[in-house]
Structure 1
Amino acid sequence: MTKTIDFYYDYISIASYLAWTQLEGISKRTGASVHYKPILLGGVFNACNNISPITIPAKWAWVKKDIQRYADHYGVPYHLNSHFPFSTVNAMRGALWAQANDQLDAYNQAMFTAAWIDGKDLSAKPVLEEVLNSAGFDAAVVMDAITLPDVKTALIDATQAATARGVFGAPSMFVGDELFFGQDRLEWVEKALC
């Protein structure tokens, strides 16, 4: 039986970035393949009547420390983006374009790095174009694609499919039908694959 992780994520999610940094190692250790599922976290929150931790001052103060604690634990670069929260609608549409064109790995690398290492404002189209060009993409092609009705609808559909499956935040990971929420649940994801 093939082992898989369905990974639901949005570049706005710091925890999605941290989980993403660990997925390759989990995949190698378990032999599982990762199915990347780009979604719009804001759409998930709206559908589930959920809110971001940033809206609760005491929780946000704790989350910022916990995220740094995990980044240090994983030994990965991380800087809280001064533009946070920023819109990722265009970046996530681009992820679906990249997925359809077999370029999602490079695209994920570019977007997560831009957001959580380089501190780029992904909501600004000129910044997004610069990130794309720097990563070897043709920004004009991607920026044109994200305006297409099919691409816009694809992101809405992917987000609705995620909430229908039980996703209420990001990152969310499924091993079979079992949902694991949050980058701090990766240990349980790995155990479920063994």
Structure 2
Amino acid sequence: MSKTVEFYFDLGSPASYLAWTQLPSLCARNGATLSYRPMLLGGVFQATGNASPAMIPAKGRYMFNDLGRYAKRYGVPFGLPPGFPVNTLTLMRGVIGTQLHAPEHFETLLGVLFKGLWEHQRDLSDAAVLEQTLRQASLDPVGFQTLAADAQVKAQLKHATEQAVERGIFGAPSMFVAGELFFGQDRLDFVEQALQR
């Protein structure tokens, strides 16, 4: 029976980006399904009393150095977008709205936004930069903004974030395999082991 990796993420999390670069191939080689679970990391932090490691200067410096090491190991580009940490409220609403209402564009959109932030270091919280980034990828920026402004989409992102907290999530990325939680892109080896049981 095929297993599933539930991938809880926020585009503004650099560790979520690194996990995203690895999870599709990890799932493919283990015959597993990758299930994307967008959530709002700020909402998770607020609900759990957690905060970004970047808020503690020494820890933040170490974390970014460590993420750079992993990016080098994975062979993927990595850099911080201007104004980090990024306000991803509109981005995540657009992502979950696309997942719900235009799923055929979801994975393409996810790639464009993750790469826009962490490979090309674009400030996607700037509406003009976001519009240009979507247009360059032949995606519809007006449709994206319409979804991001939709009341039902907003409610769905809020619900998804609350559900994540109820499941014990306190940060991103978080992954579940057969109900077991794995936190952090540096735990992908444990995710793979869980798939092989």
Q: TM-score range, shorter-chain basis?
A: over 0.9
Residue in 1 aligned with 2:34? 34
Give the TM-score normalised by the residue count of structure 2.
0.96
Q: Counterparts of 1:61 and 1:77 in 2: how far apart (Å)?
A: 18
Question: CA–CA distance in 2 between the matches of 1:105 and 1:176?
Answer: 23
* Aligned 1:24-103 pairs, distance under 5 A: 24-100=24-100, 101-102=102-103, 103=105
Q: Are the equivalent residues in 2 in contact too, given 1:129–1:143 (CA < 8 A)?
A: no
Letter in 2 for 1:160: E
After superposition, give the CA deviation of every residue in 1:79-138 in whole Å (9 maximum; x if it has no partner).
122321111001101111221211211011011001001111121111111121112111
Match of 1:134 in 2: 136
Q: Distance in 2 between matches of 1:67 and 1:156?
A: 28
Deviation at 1:29, TM superposition (A): 1.0
Q: Distance between the aligned counterparts of 2:86 and 2:177, measured in 1? A: 30
Q: Quote the offset at 1:2 in angstroms.
A: 2.4
**Alignment match, 1:12:** 12
- The aligned amino acid for 2:88 is T
Q: Which amino acid aligns with 2:87?
A: S
Give SS of 1:118's match. coil
CA contact (8 A) 2:98 2:147 kept: no
Q: Secondary structure at the match of 1:146?
A: helix
Q: Unmatched 5+ residue regions in structure 1? A: none
**Residue aligned with 2:83, SS:** coil
User: Structure 2, unaligned stretches of length 5 or more?
Assistant: none
Q: Which moved more, 1:179-188 or 1:125-134?
A: 125-134
**Structural mapping, 1:106-121, within 5 Å:** 106-121=108-123
Which deviations, in whole Å up to 9, do the C-alpha atoms of 1:27-74 show, x marking residues without a partner? Answer: 111000100001100000000000111111110111011000000000
**Counterparts of 1:125 and 1:39 in 2: how far apart (Å)?**
21
Please, which of 83, 105, 108 is the counterpart of residue 107 of structure 2? 105
- Structure 2 equivalent of residue 3 of structure 1: 3
What TM-score do the two structures reach when normalised by structure 1? Answer: 0.97
Moved more, 182-191 or 101-110: 101-110
**After TM superposition, what 4+ stretches of structure 1 lie above 6 angstroms from structure 2?**
none
**In 2, are the aligned partners of 1:83 and 1:119 still within 8 Å (CA)?**
no
Q: How far apart in 1 are the matches of 2:186 and 2:106?
A: 24
Tell whether the 8 Å contact from 1:83 to 1:120 is kept in structure 2 after alignment. no
